[in-house]
Chains A and B, each alone.
Chain A
Amino acid sequence: MANRADKRSFSTIRPISISQSLLSRDGSASFSFGKTKVLCSVNGPAEVKLRDEKLDKATIDVVVRPLVGTPGTKDKTHEYILRSAFESVIQSGLHPRTQIQIVSQVMMDDGSIIAAAINATTMALIDAGIPMKDIVAAVSCVINKEDQILLDPTAQEMENVKSIHTFAFDKSSSSLLFCESLGLFTDDQYFNCYELCNVAAGRIFEEIRGAITNKLQEYQGYQTEL
């Protein structure tokens, strides 16, 4: 079986690394798929500007910063995606008339950047202790010219492909929260990608669980030392 440039098989995701509580914010985390890395910070629930105040729930404000330059339409689109995905998951009704601010900083873009940003945001929200109904994980895949499905593509693999898919799932019902599919594809290809990404999202949930367990164990160890 032909392997990919980085010697992965088609349905393997790149090594994941997660770290939490990096910044002096209410919550922060970084998430990386191989070289792709996103740092995310969460502040809140904090005071909200009068203009953005909602009487029955918290306002969720998302800022996406690119690695270089000023934010453009692409970053605005990512902000919109992150906000709409997390608005349905965060229990914003518990903190009316406040603001929860999510800042997502791209550290390195080597493909699957939206997926990494969604996963980093999940981790940062958990780190900040924001009440959520569910947790979210996202994975990308591409279908190349030879109709092979490549999971978690690198930037190089995302060029000259037939279609690009990004899926975000929630954990409890593993149903679809966000999807963006571009290019040309058939129904079967779409649902194959859907299944593949759904399974891969399961692996990410395991990683998230592992990261949280590690952190808690460290914390408990620290407590007993005291």
Chain B
Amino acid sequence: MGNENNNLKSTITFEAETFRRIQPEEYLRKFIQQQVRPDGRSFNHFRKTTVNLSCISTADGSSMVRIGNTTVVCGIKAEVSEPNVNLPNEGYLVPNVDLSPICSPRFKPGPPSEQAQVLSENLNKLLKISKVIDLKTLCIEEGKAVWVLFADIVCVNYDGNVFDACVIALISALMNVRLPKAFYEDGLVKATEEKSITLSIIRTPYSASFAMFDGQYLLVDPNEMEESITKDGTTVVVDETGQLCNIWKIGSSCSPEQLKTCISKARDRYADITSIIEKAKQAI
């Protein structure tokens, strides 16, 4: 009996899984000190990203994006509505993110979680202030009828870095939108059966997200576990000319040098995403 107690005191051993559950931060630190992440990636390695266009036939434009295990589906539906009185020749583009309970045990059924609302709001700001599409081209008849594009993004599997996936899904679904020709006649909008009109997209911003661990290790494309432990997130959005569209940083402090590294990594990532989307376009 006494012998057993002594053994317990000298060596407490856990299964790796138990260790992860009770000391997640220490678990991650042990990996980071070996210059590797728990899923075997190096610090600068983005997970495999795939894009599938036109996957929902009931939507006017759609795409499915996977970043590692994170999967989001974006479907865009066009409807006709009256324009805002102050902006009579501008349509609407309304993004909405749904983190349904299907995607992770963390999300419960009910009204949208705070995280889903923050994601929707950030996407909305990105579209609006960076002017991704010219809303004037969505006008059918000034002051009477405009197109409203509802971009609904459903997350089906949540494994971190959902913002990047949402941005890619939204932009690629916008590229995929085909609208019918529409005319306004005496209070009615008539549309052709053939859907051929593409949207004029001014800018194609893509984002790259980073997590900072212990204030010095920069982990690109964090998965769910890394995201929940580090709580320090930086997101950088760049457009095709290399200009910055959005920088979003929360959590504990970081230096300008670290931000510069993030920006240059986001530009490298941009090239990768463009080639992935080009491939997806050819695959349709």
Residues of A near any B CB (own CB < 8 A): 73-74, 76-77, 79-81, 84-85, 87-88, 163-164, 170, 173, 175-187, 190-191, 194
Whether B243 and A182, one on each chain, are in contact in the complex, defined by CB atoms closer than 8 angstroms, is: no
Residue of B nearest to A184 (CB): B243
4 residue pairs, one from A and one from B, having the closest CB atoms: A88-B252, A175-B253, A84-B250, A181-B247
A191 to chain B, nearest CB (A): 6
Q: Point out the residues of chain A lying under 8 angstroms from B252, CB to CB.
A: 88, 177
B41 at the interface (CB under 8 A from A): no
B100-122: which residues lie under 8 A (CB-CB) from chain A? 114-115, 117-118, 120-122
How long is the Cα–Cα vector from A73 to B129 in the complex, in angstroms?
Answer: 17
Taking a contact as CB atoms closer than 8 A, the residue among B244, B251, B253 that contacts A181 in the complex is: B244
Binary interface encoding of chain B residues 120-159 relative to chain A, with 1 for a CB under 8 A from any of its CBs, else 0: 1110111001100000000000000000000000000000
Whether B117 and A73, one on each chain, are in contact in the complex, defined by CB atoms closer than 8 angstroms, is: yes
How long is the Cα–Cα vector from A175 to B252 in the complex, in angstroms?
Answer: 9
Taking a contact as CB atoms closer than 8 A, the residue among A76, A79, A84, A180 that contacts B251 in the complex is: A84
Whether A191 and B256, one on each chain, are in contact in the complex, defined by CB atoms closer than 8 angstroms, is: yes
Q: Knowing A179-B248, A181-B247 are in contact, say whether A77-B122 is a contact too (CB < 8 A).
A: yes
Interface of A is mostly: mixed
Task: Tell me the count of chain B residues lying within 8 A, CB to CB, of chain A.
Answer: 32
Q: Point out the residues of chain A lying under 8 angstroms from B231, CB to CB.
A: 84, 87-88
Q: Knowing A80-B118, A190-B244 are in contact, say whether A164-B129 is a contact too (CB < 8 A).
A: yes
How long is the Cα–Cα vector from A187 to B256 in the complex, in angstroms?
Answer: 11
Taking a contact as CB atoms closer than 8 A, the residue among A80, A81, A182, A185 that contacts B126 in the complex is: A182
Q: Point out the residues of chain A lying under 8 angstroms from B254, CB to CB.
A: 175-176
B239 at the interface (CB under 8 A from A): yes
B33 at the interface (CB under 8 A from A): no
Q: Point out the residues of chain B lying under 8 angstroms from A173, CB to CB.
A: 253
Whether B253 and A76, one on each chain, are in contact in the complex, defined by CB atoms closer than 8 angstroms, is: no
Whether B246 and A182, one on each chain, are in contact in the complex, defined by CB atoms closer than 8 angstroms, is: yes
B168 at the interface (CB under 8 A from A): no
Residue of A nearest to B125 (CB): A182
Q: Point out the residues of chain B lying under 8 angstroms from A76, CB to CB.
A: 114, 117-118, 121
How long is the Cα–Cα vector from A181 to B262 in the complex, in angstroms?
Answer: 14
Q: Point out the residues of chain B lying under 8 angstroms from A80, CB to CB.
A: 114-115, 118, 250
Binary interface encoding of chain B residues 222-266 relative to chain A, with 1 for a CB under 8 A from any of its CBs, else 0: 000000000110000001000111111111111110011001000
A69 to chain B, nearest CB (A): 15
How long is the Cα–Cα vector from A39 to B130 in the complex, in angstroms?
Answer: 31
A–B Cβ pairs within 8 angstroms, 14 of them: A74-B121, A77-B121, A80-B114, A80-B115, A84-B231, A173-B253, A176-B254, A176-B256, A176-B259, A177-B253, A178-B249, A179-B247, A179-B259, A186-B243
How long is the Cα–Cα vector from A85 to B252 in the complex, in angstroms?
Answer: 7
